[in-house]
């Protein structure tokens, strides 16, 4: 019998990170010609209790991926309180991000010795069809999220810091810019690290080969957080990945297939404009070619480097602003579908006078013609993006030729499981109303970055044989010839920019069945039903993750993952000092020529019952008696450990001996003045406590 001898656990007191956060917003009303009718001032917002809780499950950059506007009567709307979870009367949701430098992105700035990560997006809504008065705004991570991150009220109570309601006339649209400022901690701006302190404010006692020394130092190195690019997509700021985000564990995949929040972007039919030469930005924020020759002009409007995204693609030649994809696009069919699913996402289909939650999640409906369900988890975050029910409702509202279709025989992929909008000849409708993310109106709708199972690149088209009757593949092609019956003022948009000409099945060179592909929409092969999120956008710790795809395993495909490096703890023999943070962090490799050992961090269970203005979450790892030893059975293996840190999880190896990613791309380091030994008689526990606090001055 083997006698077990328990090992002694030595524990470093929780290393603490304390961050404060505050947000602000401003609104604008945009005219049909693209000019601003008015632009409001910056106003503070209120970060809600349920908004603070979201940080345990997602990066700061994802908590405000969508803006929702409400039209409760001005005299009736209730001021925001921290216990709010939603708008009182939601009316619409943004349909676009306004791309471009200064519209979407991030900055790192300083205020005294403090450093802040500033995250911002600009949200555009669709042009109004009738008068509207907006009295409240909310921000959240996905269309299906059941609770908001932040809520603000526009009731004209300027004494309380609340602006006037925004009044919109037909043809105008609402634009909202939201900015979140996160204080970075601990930051050593001009010294070699800060003196670490425990929760009592004193130098922590480390019962690991001795007590802490006054020469111990710590500080951030890489930023290690998620920023926002010029298109509005959440993406890591630097090689630190998400190692300094409270939610991040030791993983390298964070997509919806792993239980995390999806990212969002404009549809492919909304192209961006990139400047091709140095330009100067005007006061309105729009780029102005060249400059007038007046030196004061150049000094007043700094140059924008070539190749920078500056916004939506602008009209050229005889095109009008309403010819370009965006809030003012005059393609009524496309915008109506955009408007329709936008409305369904936040009001549960009151278009048809009902308030039944539609099948918008991974829960399968009762059949191809019955998709009303209970308990569905939200809109778009999980399984499918649209379901039969939304298509049928759209068909009913706009009197479209929506039909349940099948493939030619039961041997073909999709037999009795397809839905399409087509004419009597089963060809693509000339009005371009087919719902499909890579063709037709859905190219103008915001979509998840990680897609699953319905796009061109993800369907097994070689096994897909839709029945199309006779070959009439060119029936939906447009023409630039004004005398041609197929003339469309948007021919260039379709045929050139979107490459959406629907050629014949037998034509050359594009014999790829694009016409047939665009017609059909997969209905019942969706993500596994038990991928159900109670929050509507992410899985909490007691909800299971489903990794399989279609209910038919032979047809399974996976979500596009978000390849992002999470958070791992590392030990290193590096004796270098903590580097000054600088303006945007600093890279300092603590693996080169050193001994090191990396372990992925785990999250302790998040306490959802926390209250007040702060929330905490602890992450930890155990170096058991078999790993990370500097002494084995009394014999020295290598030098004692001099540095403890958090860095980006290694994504090129799963062998601990070669996992150098965290030590190389470190986001945080704790430098021990006195190096510490670890032997195989001890288990070392390392814990990191993250605290985030809202600015209590928000309104």
pLDDT digits (tens, 9 = 90+) for 599-647: 999 999 999 999 999 999 999 999 998 999 999 999 999 999 999 999 9
Of the listed ranges 290-299, 342-351, 483-492, 590-599, the least confidently predicted one is: 290-299
Residue 14 dihedral angles phi and psi, to the nearest 5°: -50, 125
Q: Are both 528 and 594 inside the same structural domain?
A: no
Cα(515)–Cα(439) distance, rounded to whole angstroms? 10
Decide if 265 is inside a domain: no
**Residue 242 belongs to a domain:** no
Bigger pLDDT: 591 or 314? 591
Whole-number pLDDT of residue 277 = 60
Residue 90 Cα distances to 259, 345, 497, angstroms: 27, 10, 35
pTM confidence score: 0.84
Query: How far is the C-alpha of 429 from the C-alpha of 455, rounded, in Å?
Result: 19
Residue after which a domain boundary falls, among 508, 530, 561: 561
Q: Which domain holds residue 645?
A: 8-14+186-224+564-694
Could you tell me if 537 and 430 lie in one domain?
yes
Is 131 found in the same domain as 30?
A: yes
Smallest CA-to-CA distance from 688 within 568, 575, 590 is with 568
Contact 638, 76 (CB under 8 A): no
Burial bucket for residue 128 (CB in 10 Å: 0-12, 13-18, 19+): middle
Q: Does 105 have pLDDT greater than 90?
A: yes
- Does residue 652 fall inside a structural domain? yes
Question: Does position 524 have pLDDT exceeding 90, yes or no?
Answer: no
Whether residue 198 sits in one domain with residue 174: no
Long-range pairs, 397-405, Cβ under 8 A, ≥24: 397/340, 397/351, 397/352, 398/336, 398/340, 398/433, 400/429, 400/433, 401/429, 404/368, 404/369, 405/466, 405/467, 405/519, 405/520
> Is the N-terminal amide bond of 509 cis, ω within 30° of 0?
yes
Q: Average the pLDDT over 287-314 and give the result.
A: 58
Helices (H), 348-481: 388-398
In a domain, 247, yes or no: no
Confidence of residue 96 (pLDDT cuts 50, 70, 90): very high
Domain boundary among 126, 158, 184: 184
Tell me, yes or no, whether 250 lies in a domain: no
- If asked whether residues 654 and 620 sit together in one domain, one would say yes
Give the whole-number percent of the chain exceeding pLDDT 70: 63
**Using the 8-state DSSP alphabet, how is residue 347 labeled?**
H
Question: Do 461 and 397 sit in the same domain of this protein?
Answer: yes
Tell whether 44 and 138 lie within a shared domain.
Answer: yes
pLDDT at 433: 37
Residues 417 and 555 reside in one and the same domain? yes
Q: Which of 155, 184, 213 is the last residue of a domain?
A: 184
Looking at the structure, tell me whether residues 190 and 132 fall in a common domain.
Answer: no
Asked if the structure places residue 140 within a domain, the reply is yes
- Averaged pLDDT for residues 105-128: 93
Q: Name the band, by pLDDT with cuts 50, 70 and 90, for residue 208.
A: low
Q: How many domains does the chain have?
A: 4
Residue 623 is encoded by which pair of tokens? Answer: 């170096």
Q: Is there a single domain that holds both residue 524 and residue 412?
A: yes
Residues 509 and 417 reside in one and the same domain: yes
Stretch 246-263: mean pLDDT, rounded?
A: 88
Confirm whether 99 is domain-assigned. yes
Q: Are 514 and 124 in contact (CB under 8 A)?
A: no
Q: For position 444, what pLDDT does the model report? A: 76
Residues 602, 551 share a domain: no
Asked whether residue 100 is domain-assigned, the answer is: yes
Say which residue, 546 or 287, is predicted with more confidence.
546
Identify the burial level of 593 via C-beta atoms within 10 angstroms of its C-beta, where 0-12 means exposed, 13-18 middle and 19 or more buried: exposed
């Amino acid at each position: 019998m083997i006698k077990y001898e328990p090992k002694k656990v030595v524990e470093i007191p929780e290393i603490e990170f304390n961050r404060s956060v505050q947000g602000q917003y401003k609104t604008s009303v945009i005219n049909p010609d693209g000019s601003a009718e008015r632009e409001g001032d910056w106003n503070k917002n209120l970060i809600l209790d349920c908004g603070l809780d979201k940080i345990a499950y997602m990066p700061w950059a994802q908590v405000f991926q969508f803006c929702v506007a409400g039209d409760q009567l001005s005299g009736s709307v209730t001021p925001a309180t921290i216990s709010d979870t939603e708008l009182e009367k939601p009316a619409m949701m943004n349909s676009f991000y306004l791309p471009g430098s200064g519209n979407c992105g991030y900055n790192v700035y300083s205020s005294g010795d403090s450093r802040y990560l500033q995250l911002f997006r600009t949200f555009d809504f669709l042009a109004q069809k009738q008068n509207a008065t907006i009295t409240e705004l909310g921000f959240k991570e996905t269309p299906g999220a059941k609770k908001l991150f932040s809520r603000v009220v526009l009731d004209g109570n300027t004494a309380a810091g609340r602006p006037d309601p925004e009044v919109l006339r037909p043809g105008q649209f609402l634009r909202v810019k939201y900015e979140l400022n996160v204080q970075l901690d601990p930051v050593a701006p001009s010294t070699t690290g800060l003196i670490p302190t425990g929760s009592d404010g004193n130098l922590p006692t480390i019962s690991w080969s001795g007590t802490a020394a006054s020469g111990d130092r710590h500080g951030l190195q890489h930023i290690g957080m998620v920023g926002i690019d010029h298109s509005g997509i959440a993406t890591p700021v630097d090689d630190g990945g998400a190692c300094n985000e409270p939610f991040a564990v030791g993983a390298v995949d964070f997509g919806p297939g792993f239980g995390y929040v999806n990212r969002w972007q404009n549809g492919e039919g909304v192209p961006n404009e990139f400047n091709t030469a140095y330009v100067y930005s005007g006061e309105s924020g729009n780029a102005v070619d060249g400059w007038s020759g007046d030196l004061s002009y150049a000094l007043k409007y700094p140059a924008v480097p070539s190749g920078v995204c500056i916004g939506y693609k602008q009209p050229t030649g005889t095109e009008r602003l309403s010819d370009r994809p965006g809030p003012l696009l005059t393609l009524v069919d496309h915008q109506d579908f955009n408007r329709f699913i936008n409305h369904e996402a936040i009001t549960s289909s009151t278009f048809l006078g009902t308030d039944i939650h539609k099948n918008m999640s991974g829960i399968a409906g009762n059949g191809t013609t019955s998709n009303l369900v209970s308990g569905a988890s939200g809109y778009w975050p999980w399984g499918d993006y649209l379901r039969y029910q939304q298509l049928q409702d759209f068909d009913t509202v706009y009197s479209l030729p929506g039909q349940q279709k099948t493939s030619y025989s039961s041997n073909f992929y999709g037999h009795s499981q397809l839905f399409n909008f087509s004419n009597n000849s089963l060809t693509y409708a000339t009005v371009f109303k087919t719902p499909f993310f890579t063709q037709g109106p859905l190219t103008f709708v915001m979509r998840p970055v990680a897609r699953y199972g319905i796009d061109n690149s993800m369907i097994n088209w070689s096994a897909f044989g839709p029945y199309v009757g006779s070959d009439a593949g060119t029936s939906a092609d447009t023409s630039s010839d004004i005398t041609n019956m197929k003339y469309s003022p948007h021919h260039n948009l379709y045929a050139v920019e979107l490459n959406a000409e629907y050629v014949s099945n037998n034509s050359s060179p594009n014999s790829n069945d694009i016409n047939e592909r665009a017609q059909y929409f997969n209905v019942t092969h969706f993500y596994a039903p038990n991928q159900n999120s109670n929050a509507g956008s992410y899985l909490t710790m007691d909800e299971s993750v489903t990794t399989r795809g279609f209910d038919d395993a032979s047809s399974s495909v996976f979500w596009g993952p978000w390849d992002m490096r999470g958070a791992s703890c590392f030990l290193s023999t590096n004796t270098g000092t903590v580097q000054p943070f600088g303006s945007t962090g600093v890279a300092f490799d603590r693996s080169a020529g050193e001994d090191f050992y990396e372990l992925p961090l785990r999250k302790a269970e998040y306490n959802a019952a926390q209250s007040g203005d702060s929330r905490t979450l602890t992450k930890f790892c155990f170096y058991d008696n078999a790993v990370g030893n500097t002494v084995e059975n009394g014999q020295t293996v290598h030098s004692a450990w001099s540095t403890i840190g958090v860095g980006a999880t290694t994504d090129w190896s799963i062998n601990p001996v070669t996992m150098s990613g965290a030590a190389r791309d470190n986001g945080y380091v704790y430098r021990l003045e006195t190096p510490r030994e670890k032997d195989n008689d001890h288990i070392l526990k390392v814990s990191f406590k993250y605290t985030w606090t809202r600015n209590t001055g928000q309104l």
